[in-house]
A = this chain, B = another copy of it.
Amino acid sequence: MATYGLIEYATASPEIREVYDDIMATRKTDYINNFWKALAAHPATLRRTWESVKEVMAAGALDPLTKELIYLAVSATNQCGYCLASHTAGALAKGATPEMVGEVLAVVGMANETNALAGGFQVEIDERFKTQG
């Protein structure tokens, strides 16, 4: 169970309700994920985290689905069970096909493998990779 339980809308303070309202309006849903209900135990963290997620995940140079797939990639690397469940749902809701999810996870698996190999063989960085951008 979440450390301080889940705070439902009905019993939430006005400060928390304001965030919940913005989540529902932004995402066009009447559902609040357990993640937010658990963070509500510390309202400042709830508000700040939501505002950051809202800004970061909005369409920009990358579309929202690509951002969701990147979220999935990080969550798989970190073995975060909750995050894998919620961001897999998020990716599917945004139109990810089994083929796309399969390819994301194939890349994630390969990246974790070669990350360990690069470290393990103590490979030094190529001169040409040292100046970029």
Contact = CB atoms under 8 A, between A and B. Distances in A.
Contact of A118 (B72, B80, B88, B118): B80
Complex copy number for this chain:
6
A13 interface: no
A1 to B, nearest CB: 6
B62 A118 contact: no
Nearest to A100: B61
Given A45-B105, A79-B79, A99-B60, A111 B4 contact: no
Contacts of A77: 74, 77-78, 116
Interface in A42-85: 42, 44-45, 48-49, 52-53, 55-57, 60-62, 66-67, 69-85
Interface of A: 1-5, 31, 33-35, 38-39, 41-42, 44-45, 48-49, 52-53, 55-57, 60-62, 66-67, 69-86, 88-89, 92, 97-126, 128-133
The list of the 8 closest CB pairs from A to B, nearest first, reads A42-B102, A76-B120, A74-B111, A113-B113, A4-B133, A85-B129, A61-B99, A109-B113
